[in-house]
């Protein structure tokens, strides 16, 4: 799922060593591996190519979005040189050395996605990514890929000139009139963007300009000042037409209206109309060609919207006074959950172009255009539920690292987001919420995923053990989730009890259990019952959330309960901040454990009746017959 955006993807190896390296990588990436006929096929996911690699590449070139080579860089350059066209259409080209130490983003770093794929593969292989683009080294989002997560369309302009101004660290003015502002939130402090508009500081002389707007700007061909435009898809076209109006007529009418109002057709999200037009061939064909969603509403729904130009004639015919204006407004406000609870009065404000009628002898359309607050991404969202382990980067699984790096947005508690800072990618949205706001964090993740982003929700330890994963799935269930959109993937992590155990020895060698002493979400009676059962059952027990500033007595009750069933000198380990900089470990016993500091950063490990200490190691015997 993580690599979906790069499919179809192929890898090429020409030696046994390279085949071995790429084979397991390809299984994780779901890529097809090609080897020459002289090498044996490992399994059905590997294919032979016949004849020369050069000829084979030419055949598969147009069908694939990414190529991974385990070959000398020089050889790869010679092979692909005749096939390269331009950076907007060339596939991502990646080279890996046969030892798997380096992953090189060779070609199509930005638009082809090679820089991103390189980082992901480097995480998978625990290799060093080699990325040479200027924006990457400045920790900035590539300007030619800035809007991709939000589904913005790229307009014309001097993209190379603007990128060069950014790479030269000159001031670049950004005029954003629509679309998400989230890309701005995590820019590095010394970023080159200047957002002043229309109040422009006279002393600032920008070297380039970026427009982010649905309005069509005209860039004079003679101008040497580099300018580019991104179009967030915020326009909804409300459409009515007489039966049988052709796709061509609809296309040209929409273009005419956009031109008249200086709107870019690239900023169109979709078409909205009345339900009786759901089978109108011209509209269907037009939407199919443009890949626009087509929303249809009943006359009753459209009737609820107050429009500036209602028509009595239309009302008599179809039961609502307005098709184009009402449908445009409805589309712009209700296509997405965000638009849920708007006041009627606000709805009208979204109407940008009032009803326009365009006719010929036998064809006619009415067009109105409304602007939605939030752009349409055209993407299906994903949620990665990621466990980041106890704290240090080398205790995170490579798969979790890849997920963190791939995500468009990362959500978590600020301490954890700081710990994983080195794994983050430039241009990522990062949102932290206070530790008490877990439910809000889950909601926010779902909101962003519904909108179309890939979102990594980060928990410490394992995300499914007193972590965020359950909250997200519960919230999805409560919102009638279909199990598919957003898609979910869970990435396990080393949980606190494993981390704590590893630091003190092998205390979990026999049956064990985890009990959280937090009674904020669970009644104390229930916790008490479990403590008693664990103590009676002679389970090695890990206590999570043992004591906080407001919950001081629970750990005392836990100790008292265990003392009823277990000896006072039963080994206890208090492991605080395992694998973090301020780690501390105290080995004590059941009677004395409360003489030491225990807080919310501590995991308490209570041994069973046969656990012992030896040379400062806590050991629980493996055998059932403890006398052996």
Q: How far apart are CA 200 and CA 187, in angstroms?
A: 21
Q: How far apart are CA 572 and CA 457, in angstroms?
A: 33
Reduce the secondary structure of 373-393 to three states and give it as a string.
CCCCCCCCCEEEEEECECCCH
CA atoms within 13 Å, Cβ hemisphere of 557: 17
Q: How far apart are CA 407 and CA 549, in angstroms?
A: 35
How far apart are CB 89 and ligand SAH at their closest, in Å?
44
How far apart are CB 16 and ligand SAH at their closest, in Å?
41
How far apart are CB 465 and ligand SAH at their closest, in Å?
4
Q: How far apart are CA 364 and CA 408, in angstroms?
A: 43
| Residue length of the chain | 628
Residue 603 found at the interface with ligand SAH (CB under 6 A): yes
Q: Residues 395, 459, 561, 620: which binds ligand SAH (CB under 6 A)? A: 459
172 vs 463 by CB, closer to ligand SAH: 463
Residue 527 found at the interface with ligand SAH (CB under 6 A): no
Residue nearest to ligand SAH according to CB distances in the complex: 461
115 vs 438 by CB, closer to ligand SAH: 438
Contacts of 475 (CB under 8 A, 6+ apart): 439, 442, 443, 446
- Cα 550 from chain centre: 36
Q: Residues 323, 496, 504, 606: which binds ligand SAH (CB under 6 A)? A: 496
Task: Give the bridge partners for 475, in sequence order.
Answer: none
Q: Confirm if 607 and 574 have CB atoms less than 8 A apart.
A: no
230 vs 466 by CB, closer to ligand SAH: 466
Q: Which of residues 500-519 bind ligand SAH (CB under 6 A)?
A: 500
Q: Residue 268: how many CB atoms within 10 A of its CB?
A: 22
- Cα 250 from chain centre: 36
Print the binding letters for residues 381-410 with ligand SAH: x by CB under 6 A, - otherwise: ---------xx-------------------
Distances (CA, A) of 397 to 124, 462, 614: 9, 11, 31
How far apart are CB 578 and ligand SAH at their closest, in Å?
4
Task: Give the bridge partners for 369, in sequence order.
Answer: 237, 353
Among the listed ranges 71-79, 95-103, 220-228, 458-466, the one in contact with ligand SAH (CB under 6 A) is: 458-466
Residue 554 found at the interface with ligand SAH (CB under 6 A): no
496 vs 558 by CB, closer to ligand SAH: 496
Q: Residues 103, 465, 574, 590: which binds ligand SAH (CB under 6 A)? A: 465
Residue 449 found at the interface with ligand SAH (CB under 6 A): no
Residue 575 found at the interface with ligand SAH (CB under 6 A): yes
Among the listed ranges 56-64, 159-167, 189-197, 600-608, the one in contact with ligand SAH (CB under 6 A) is: 600-608
Going by C-alpha positions, the residue among 89, 27, 28, 82 that lies closest to residue 52 is 82
Q: How far apart are CA 117 and CA 120, in angstroms?
A: 5
Among the listed ranges 23-31, 166-174, 329-337, 574-582, the one in contact with ligand SAH (CB under 6 A) is: 574-582
The secondary structure of residue 367, as a DSSP letter, is: E
Task: Kindly report the backbone phi and psi dihedral angles of residue 89, in degrees, each rounded to the nearest multiple of 5, phi listed first.
Answer: -120, -15
Q: Confirm if 77 and 53 have CB atoms less than 8 A apart.
A: no
Q: Residues 14, 269, 395, 545: which binds ligand SAH (CB under 6 A)? A: 545
Residue 574 found at the interface with ligand SAH (CB under 6 A): no
Q: How far apart are CA 479 and CA 328, in angstroms?
A: 27
Q: Which of residues 108-137 bind ligand SAH (CB under 6 A)?
A: none
321 vs 390 by CB, closer to ligand SAH: 390
159 vs 579 by CB, closer to ligand SAH: 579
Residue 223, token pair as written in the block: 């101008």
How far apart are CB 444 and ligand SAH at their closest, in Å?
19
Residue 580 found at the interface with ligand SAH (CB under 6 A): yes
Q: How far apart are CA 90 and CA 158, in angstroms?
A: 19
Residue 570 found at the interface with ligand SAH (CB under 6 A): no
Going by C-alpha positions, the residue among 522, 411, 520, 394 that lies closest to residue 457 is 411
Number of residues that bind ligand SAH (CB under 6 A): 26
67 vs 579 by CB, closer to ligand SAH: 579
How far apart are CB 400 and ligand SAH at their closest, in Å?
13
Distances (CA, A) of 22 to 30, 106, 234: 11, 17, 42
CA atoms within 13 Å, Cβ hemisphere of 567: 10
Among the listed ranges 63-71, 235-243, 302-310, 453-461, the one in contact with ligand SAH (CB under 6 A) is: 453-461
371 vs 459 by CB, closer to ligand SAH: 459
Residue 412 found at the interface with ligand SAH (CB under 6 A): no
* Interacting residues toward ligand SAH by CB under 6 A: 390-391, 459-462, 465-467, 495-496, 499-500, 544-546, 575-580, 600-603
């Amino acid at each position: 799922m993580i690599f979906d955006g790069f499919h179809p993807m192929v890898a090429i190896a020409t030696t046994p060593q390279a085949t071995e390296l790429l084979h397991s990588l390809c299984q994780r990436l779901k890529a097809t591996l090609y080897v020459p006929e002289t090498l044996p096929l490992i399994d059905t996911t590997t294919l032979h190519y016949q004849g020369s690699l050069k000829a084979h590449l030419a055949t598969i070139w147009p069908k694939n979005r990414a190529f991974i080579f385990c070959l000398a860089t020089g050889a790869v350059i010679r092979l692909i040189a005749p096939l390269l066209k331009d950076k907007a259409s060339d596939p991502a080209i990646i080279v890996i050395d046969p030892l798997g130490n380096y992953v090189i983003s060779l070609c199509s770093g930005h638009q082809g996605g090679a820089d991103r794929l390189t980082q992901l593969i480097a995480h998978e292989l625990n290799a060093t990514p080699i990325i040479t683009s200027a924006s990457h080294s400045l920790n900035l989002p590539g300007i030619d890929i800035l809007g991709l997560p939000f589904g913005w369309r790229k307009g014309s302009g001097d993209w190379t000139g603007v990128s060069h101004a950014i790479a030269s660290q000159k001031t670049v003015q950004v005029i954003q009139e629509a679309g998400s502002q989230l890309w701005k939130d995590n820019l590095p402090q010394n970023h080159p963007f200047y957002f002043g508009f229309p109040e422009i500081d006279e002393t600032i002389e920008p070297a380039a300009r970026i427009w982010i707007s649905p309005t069509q700007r005209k860039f004079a061909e003679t101008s040497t000042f580099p300018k580019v435009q991104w179009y967030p898809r915020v326009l909804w076209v409300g459409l009515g037409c007489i039966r049988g109006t052709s796709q061509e007529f609809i296309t040209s009418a929409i273009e005419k209206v956009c031109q008249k109002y200086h709107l870019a057709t690239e900023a169109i999200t979709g078409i909205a109309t009345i339900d009786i037009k759901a089978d109108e061939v011209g509209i269907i064909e037009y939407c199919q060609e443009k890949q626009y969603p087509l929303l249809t509403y009943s006359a009753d729904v459209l009737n609820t919207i107050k429009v500036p130009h209602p028509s009595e004639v239309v009302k008599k015919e179809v039961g609502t006074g307005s098709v184009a204006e009402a449908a445009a407004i409805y589309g712009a406000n209700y296509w997405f959950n965000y638009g849920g609870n708007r006041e009627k009065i606000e709805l009208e404000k979204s109407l940008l172009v009032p009803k326009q009628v365009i006719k010929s002898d036998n064809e006619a359309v009415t067009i109105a255009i409304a602007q939605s607050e939030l752009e349409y991404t055209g993407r299906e969202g994903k949620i990665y539920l990621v466990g980041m382990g106890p704290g240090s980067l080398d205790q995170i699984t490579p798969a979790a690292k890849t997920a963190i790096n791939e995500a468009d947005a990362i959500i978590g508690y600020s301490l954890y987001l700081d710990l994983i800072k080195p794994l983050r990618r430039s241009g990522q949205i990062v949102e932290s919420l206070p530790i008490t706001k877990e439910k809000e964090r889950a909601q926010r993740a779902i909101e962003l995923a519904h909108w179309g982003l890939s979102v990594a929700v980060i928990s410490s330890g394992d995300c499914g053990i007193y972590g965020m994963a359950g909250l997200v799935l519960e919230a999805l269930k409560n919102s009638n989730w279909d199990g598919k959109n957003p898609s979910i993937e869970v990435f396990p992590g080393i949980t606190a009890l494993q981390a704590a155990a590893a630091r003190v020895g092998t205390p979990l060698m026999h049956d064990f259990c985890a009990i959280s002493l937090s009674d904020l979400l669970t009644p104390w009676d229930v916790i008490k019952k479990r403590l008693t059962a664990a103590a009676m059952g002679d389970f090695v027990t890990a206590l999570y959330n043992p004591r906080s500033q407001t919950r001081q007595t629970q750990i005392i009750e836990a100790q008292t309960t265990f003392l009823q069933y277990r000896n006072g000198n039963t080994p206890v380990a208090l492991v605080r901040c395992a694998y973090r900089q301020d780690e501390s470990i105290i080995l004590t016993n059941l009677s004395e454990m409360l003489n030491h500091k225990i807080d919310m950063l501590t995991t308490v490990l209570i041994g069973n009746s046969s656990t012992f200490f030896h040379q400062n190691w806590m050991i629980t015997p493996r055998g059932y017959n403890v006398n052996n």
